[in-house]
Amino acid sequence: MAKNEFIKSLLLRDFRSYPTLDVAFDGRPVVLYGENGAGKTNLLEAVSLLSPGRGLRRAKLLDLARRAGGEPCENWSVAARLGLEDINIGTGGIDGAPNRRKMRMDGKAASGPDMAKYISINWLTPAQDRLFTGPASDRRKFFDRLCLIHVASHGRTFLAYEKSRTERGRLFADNIDDAYWFDALETDMAERGAKIALARWQVLEMLRTEISARPEGSFPKADLAIDGEAEALYAAGAEELEVVEFIKTNLAQDRPLDARAGRTLRGVHKSDLAVTHIEKAMPAAHCSTGEQKALLIGLVLAHARSQSSSQSGKPPLLLLDEVAAHLDEHRRAALIEELLELNTQVFLTGTDAGLFEAFAGRAQVFEVVDGELVLEPG
């Protein structure tokens, strides 16, 4: 099994609660414990920004900068040195452009997909505990992040699809009836939409295979499905060109209906992830809170294992915020053993170091106190 890149050192400047932080890691799991408000989640968020997208909080860029005297610092930065290839990657604010950020790799301008070639990152946060009972958009975002780790261009493809969808909606709003313009936008949406649906279907199949192959364990098995027309076509054996034509035809036929609604009513932006507790034959939304949490953890673990067995052989780096808080002792120990088996770097937070006793010297443990990390022996 190839090991994913790991963060060898992390340097923060004027990021959230950190005026400055310079800390080294050795590739083992990283435990961060301390009181609420100490800065544990802020550090996880900093790491998450080294991947494509807006990070685990999806925060506005202005909110990332530390505030000094009530004003945000413009030159906030997050930089990391990767341990295997000895590459420097980073991101940060731009002077005079508070709503933009730059990404760099070894001193040169880079993009999220550029950096994703070397390191991939996934996370679980307490906000995701309501994933199965919340809106479909949250489940799409969750699943699309899994796809992004598998297909680095997935995020960029979705942004391009959304741009064309917005422009199509503007035509409706402005009462513009230009067949050529509609055709061009719908062709782009169809091509992008087919790629989005293909990535989702491929990742879904990888997950289902991984889940099916694993014996029963501490985290319940889930049956997965994507509720979406384009994804269903791939499941039925359709080729990409067929899916492109299907989407394009539907968009053209739906113009009168979409014009009355003022938006595109069908498409990959409406797909939903359906999750079922296999043993109970129960939709995840109907399971108990504890069962939903266990299902979610099981999905993230299954995805990481599926990446380990994929062509790249590289599981993602995992950021697990307060993941152990609502697990009993048995499940906490089982989770730690599964994380160690993944052969990837993991960051975990909690208010009590005792939640992570099962690591038994197999992790770096830091107490987070007022924006500083204190390494404990072991």
Judge whether 264 lies within some domain.
Answer: yes
Task: Give me the amino acid identity at 180.
Answer: Y
How many domains does the chain divide into? 1
The helix/strand/coil state of 95 is coil
Contact between 247 and 190 (Cβ < 8 Å): yes
- The CA distances from residue 327 to 28, 44, 148, 173, 317, in Å, are 22, 20, 28, 50, 21
The closest alpha carbon to 227, from 132, 134, 140, belongs to 140
Does residue 34 belong to any structural domain of this protein? no
CA distance 343 to 308: 9
Residue 312: the pLDDT is: 55
Q: For position 2, what pLDDT does the model report?
A: 46
270 occurs within a structural domain? yes
Task: Tell me, yes or no, whether 144 lies in a domain.
Answer: yes
Cβ atoms within 10 Å of 71's Cβ, excluding its own = 9
Rounded to whole angstroms, the Cα distance separating 20 from 3 reads 29
Which residues of the chain are under the pLDDT cut of 50? Answer: 1-2
Structure tokens at 215: 């014996």
Give the pair of three-digit tokens for residue 103: 């990404």
The pair of structure tokens assigned to 290 is: 């504890």
Residue 10 within any structural domain of the chain: no
Are the C-beta atoms of 195 and 212 separated by less than 8 Å?
A: no
Cα–Cα distance between 203 and 148 in angstroms, integer?
Answer: 10
Domain of 153, CATH number, reads 1.20.1050.90
Spatial CA neighbour of 356 closest among 125, 8, 30, 27: 30
In a domain, 200, yes or no: yes
Q: Which pLDDT does position 1 carry in this prediction?
A: 38
Whether the Cβ atoms of residue 233 and residue 246 lie closer than 8 Å to each other: yes
What is the helix, strand, coil percentage profile of the chain, to 5?
45, 25, 35
Quick check: is 239 in a domain?
yes
User: Which residues contact residue 319 at a Cβ distance below 8 angstroms, ignoring those fewer than 6 apart?
Assistant: 44, 47, 48, 56, 121, 122, 123, 124, 346, 347
Domain of 274 in residue numbering reads as 133-289
The reported pLDDT for the residue numbered 310 is: 58
Q: What's the rounded Cα separation, in Å, for the pair 246 and 254?
A: 12
- On whether residue 74 sits in a domain, the answer given is no
